[in-house]
Amino acid sequence: MDRELINDCVHCGFCLPTCPTYVLWGEEMDSPRGRIHLMGQHVEGEPLSPAMVEHFDACLGCMACVTACPSGVQYDRLIEQTRAEVERAHPRTVAQRGIRALVFGLFPYPRRLRALRLPLRLAAPLRERAAPMLRALNPSLAAMAELAPPVPARRPRLPSLVRAVGPHRATVGLLAGCVQGEFFPEVNAATARVLALEGCDVVIPRGQGCCGALSLHAGRDQEARRFAKRTVAAFERAGVDTIVVNAAGCGSTMKEYADVLADEPAWAERATALRVLDVTEFLVRLGPRARRHPLPLAVAYHDACHLAHAQGIRGEPRELLRSIPGLTLKEVPEPEICCGSAGTYNLFQPEAAADLGARKAAHVLTTQPDLLVSANPGCTMQITAALRRQGHAGLPLAHTVQVLDASLRALSPTSLTAGAP
């Protein structure tokens, strides 16, 4: 842990009303200010106690405090350093080790996720009946089952190259992702179509794998570096230096690659040579060319934390949505508060995540939308589950690019609102 970064905090408390766990519980040690105090104690020589680790584990890493802080405290770096220290020095219980081995042995590996598709489809009708048994067995397993998205029978497979429609304007690489690629492949398909319709050749490298986001945010720094190097090499081989990302957590991590790989200067330099942009960020910079057709929908937009707080991207998705004729954009109250997904948080801290999900779902429902739009697969699964618990399973969710894709292709609103999870 960096003592200088710890000392940047002046304990002013501006972070408190934006911190999800402080908002839930009102406990000082479950606020950024309190956690920084604990980090300082550890740096001064106090060993990591179970109570101390519990407060660190309860942090979502949403970075809302970074946005709110007038002193520029880099809490995001502090919590990543702290989690790496916890992983190295703090012994987990057998149950914790088991569930973490399952999560990190599964989610960063697209092929392993692909093998789950058929079992998930077959088990979907049993979800509600199995829930009490799973909760009694392990709350994390119950959360995993509840969060699992509906899996279509067929998974659209993208080619390695999608050619631009009309005059060529740019060539970009597309990160396929793990959860996005296997459970939400229609988002990648829509992304490639929108980019092509806006004049871009889209390169989708084979074997790109996981970007390392889940590992980095959980303190598994060596694993994160391994995934980062593999991703950098995959896009280098593909001959692209601009990478478009449609998952907020992945984009945030890839923009940090130079820091992730700082101990290996040659790799850090290679990572710096790649320009990483969120798809909404890229499209706004590129400027519109394809015609937008009307979509008469009331759309609520959810700010994913790793897009709004980590990357500072708030206006671009809204600008793209407002460019669609007939679409009415609705703002969700408390946009700065996390929905409770936070990477693997809703698996390791299911009770707190469920409370935050319920809070977010209630705010979404106040806008009375036809459609909820998000920019991260974790948020989509988390809010879908929360809406289902509140009896609103019929509210459809989509990614920003799916809405734009429907407009560019002159599809009907029902293409987005039919077949809600």
Note the pLDDT tens digit of each residue in 265-295. 999 999 999 999 999 999 999 999 999 999 9
Question: For 38-58, what is the mean pLDDT?
Answer: 95
How far, in Å, are 49, 63, 189, 365, 387 from residue 368 at the CA level? 46, 28, 28, 5, 13
How far, in Å, are 362, 367, 407 from residue 340 at the CA level? 13, 20, 30
What single letter denotes the amino acid at residue 199?
Answer: G
Rg, Å, the chain Cα set: 21
How far, in Å, are 120, 205, 384, 406, 421 from residue 125 at the CA level? 9, 35, 16, 30, 12
pLDDT of 311 strictly over 90: yes
In sequence order, the β-bridge partners of residue 290 are none
Rounded CA-CA distance 251/183 in Å is: 18
Note the pLDDT tens digit of each residue in 333-385. 999 999 999 999 999 999 999 999 999 999 999 999 999 999 999 999 999 99
Could you list the beta-strand ranges (E) of 157-314: 161-162, 170-174, 200-203, 242-245, 275-278, 298-301
Summary mean pLDDT of the chain: 93
Rounded CA-CA distance 353/270 in Å is: 37
Q: What is the pLDDT of residue 134?
A: 73
Confidence band (pLDDT; 50, 70, 90) for 418? Answer: confident
Element (DSSP H or E) covering residue 328: strand 328-331
What kind of fold does domain 3-89 have according to CATH? Fumarate Reductase Iron-sulfur Protein; Chain B, domain 2 (1.10.1060)
Is 215 in contact with 84 (CB distance < 8 Å)? no
Rounded CA-CA distance 416/398 in Å is: 7
Q: What is the pLDDT of residue 30?
A: 97
Comma-separated ranges of CATH 1.10.1060.10 domains in the chain:
3-89
Could you list the beta-strand ranges (E) of 24-73: none
Rounded CA-CA distance 255/174 in Å is: 14
Q: Quick check: pTM over 0.85?
A: yes
Nearest to 61 by CA among 389, 304, 296: 304
What token pair was written down for 209?
A: 């794998």
pLDDT of 2 strictly over 90: no
In sequence order, the β-bridge partners of residue 161 are 203
pLDDT of 138 strictly over 60: yes
CATH number of 161-284: 3.40.50.1860
pLDDT of 310 strictly over 70: yes
Q: Which alpha helices (H) appear in 303-349, and where do they start and end?
A: 305-308, 315-322, 345-348
Overall size of the chain counted in residues: 421
In sequence order, the β-bridge partners of residue 301 are 331, 373
Is 258 in contact with 271 (CB distance < 8 Å)? yes
Percentage of the residues of the chain whose pLDDT score is greater than 70: 98
Note the pLDDT tens digit of each residue in 64-113. 999 999 999 999 999 999 999 999 999 999 989 999 999 999 999 988 98
Determine how β-strand 200-203 pairs with β-strand 161-162: antiparallel
- The interaxial angle of helices 315-322 and 279-286, nearest 10 deg, is 60
Number of C-alpha atoms within 13 angstroms, CB side, residue 206? 4
Contacts of 229 (CB under 8 A, 6+ apart): 261, 267
Q: What is the pLDDT of residue 419?
A: 56
Comma-separated ranges of CATH 3.40.50.11810 domains in the chain:
291-417
Domain 291-417 has CATH 3.50.50.60: no
Confidence band (pLDDT; 50, 70, 90) for 155? Answer: confident
Q: Is 412 left (phi over 0), alpha (psi -120 to 50) or beta?
A: beta
